[in-house]
Amino acid sequence: MTGYLVRRAGQMVLTLFLIITFAFFLVQAQPGDYATFYALDPDIPPEVKQQLRASFGLDKPLWEQYLIHLKNTVTGDFGVSFGHFPRPVMDVLVERVPRTAVLFLSATVLSFYIGFFLGKAIAWRRGGWLEYTATISGATLFTVFTPAFALMMIWIFAFRLGWLPVGKFLDPLVWRHADVSANYVFGQMLLTAFLFTAFAFLVLYLLKRTGRVGLARWAGPLIAVGGVAALFVWSFSGVGGLALDILKHMVLPIVTLTLISFAGTMLLTRNSMLETVREDYVMAARAKGLPEKMVRDRHAARNALLPVVTSLVYSLVFAIDGSVIIEVVFSWPGTGLTLLQAVRTEDLPLVMGAMVFIGLFSLLAHAIVDVLYVYLDPRIRYQ
């Protein structure tokens, strides 16, 4: 297992290196360079233009530029953003990446659960009304033109009903008198979410370790107590209202992203289930007289899960792409929106930085799925 992890990490480093290289040469291949901004200005004499080029290091040969770029990237220095001058690219990205991560992670987890649950339900009862409704509405949502759908969601829930804010990350009116920064509050929220998840997993794990079925019933209430405690602490922290404001802005993008991406998992689970329900062990489980629900969940669905997890990589990429679009439509200041704004304003350092970060993001997601797969399928043991 350790050997596998080490090899996987090595592979990731190599891929990341390829992505950095690709981003560099892509930006190099486009017409013009950093100094072209000044090249058209007739007030700048030619020798100053030459100096400018030299100060950017553009007079050096390409391979030397590449090596310098590589060295800087590895040390975490992506240069200074043109659009957010004088903030360094790294600074901008460190602020934006967690926002994308939250949007993407919550939507992926939600859509995976919903998709898996619906998928096994429609495979269990083929030909019912549920199958047709779920398949057609799922496929429609899956192939719906995401920007138009997102705008429709905004129009319905934010504009007409007024339940949720229209877009953006926070409401300036709420934050006018706040003496803490949004990044601080958001960081605390992330920390809380992380601690809560860890707590829930720990409770589940420990109760399972005891091996007593009676104790497992207490898992739900215990986790709920933890959640209430977290809410209690937040409500007395003084910034609870601010956190609530961010939360309110998060709901609509997450719901939209979940809606467009759950169908992939659902249809795949259905196909996978259709294959497992024909297996002998399912018939054996039925013959034993196990209740229908247990046959479905413990025997058929458990084994149908494996191909679904394998294909989770595709869903992840789909969700990353989806989150880029969602971020743009909802003006959610994450990496996707940053990337779009950067390419529109020719903010080339930020373009390269955002590309590398989005690549890193999908690489990490990819790796996590691979490791998850090893845990889910006890038949696979990487040496």
The binding site for another protein (CB under 8 A) comprises 15, 18-19, 26-27, 29-31, 126-127, 135-136, 139-140, 142-149, 151, 155, 159-160, 264-265, 267-268, 271-272, 274-275, 278, 307, 311-318, 320-321, 324-325, 328, 336, 339-340, 343-344, 351, 355, 358-359, 362-363, 366
Dig out the tokens for 360 from the structure.
Answer: 């890193």
Distance CA 69, CA 25 (A): 11
- As a dihedral over the C-alpha atoms of residue 263, residue 268, residue 270, residue 274, rounded to 10 degrees, the angle is 170
Q: How far is the CB of 13 from another protein (least distance, A)?
A: 13
Residue of 266, 279, 277, 355 whose CA lies nearest to 311 = 266
Q: How far is the CB of 114 from another protein (least distance, A)?
A: 14
Length of the chain, in residues: 383
Distance CA 83, CA 94 (A): 16
Nearest to another protein of 88, 359 (CB atom)? 359
Distance CA 189, CA 212 (A): 34
Question: Max Cα separation, the chain?
Answer: 89
Residue of 190, 166, 197, 200 whose CA lies nearest to 243 = 190
Nearest to another protein of 69, 185 (CB atom)? 69
What are phi and psi for residue 52, nearest 5 degrees?
A: -60, -50
Q: How far is the CB of 10 from another protein (least distance, A)?
A: 13
Distance CA 253, CA 323 (A): 8
Nearest to another protein of 51, 135 (CB atom)? 135
Residue of 82, 60, 58, 72 whose CA lies nearest to 20 = 72
Nearest to another protein of 258, 272 (CB atom)? 272
Distance CA 275, CA 269 (A): 10
Nearest to another protein of 8, 49 (CB atom)? 8
Residue 80 pairs in a beta bridge with 88
Rg (CA), the chain: 25
Q: How far is the CB of 23 from another protein (least distance, A)?
A: 8
Distance CA 323, CA 334 (A): 9
Q: How far is the CB of 338 from another protein (least distance, A)?
A: 11
Residue of 254, 315, 300, 310 whose CA lies nearest to 112 = 315
Q: How far is the CB of 124 from another protein (least distance, A)?
A: 14
Residue 334 pairs in a beta bridge with none
Nearest to another protein of 184, 281 (CB atom)? 281
Nearest to another protein of 51, 106 (CB atom)? 106
Q: How far is the CB of 30 from another protein (least distance, A)?
A: 4
Distance CA 309, CA 299 (A): 16
Q: How far is the CB of 153 from another protein (least distance, A)?
A: 12
Q: How far is the CB of 318 from another protein (least distance, A)?
A: 5
Nearest to another protein of 116, 203 (CB atom)? 116
Q: How far is the CB of 101 from another protein (least distance, A)?
A: 14
Nearest to another protein of 242, 308 (CB atom)? 308
Asked whether 19 and 348 are in contact (CB, 8 A), the reply is: no
Q: Say which residue the tokens 């240069």 belong to.
A: 79
Nearest to another protein of 222, 306 (CB atom)? 306
Distance CA 365, CA 19 (A): 15
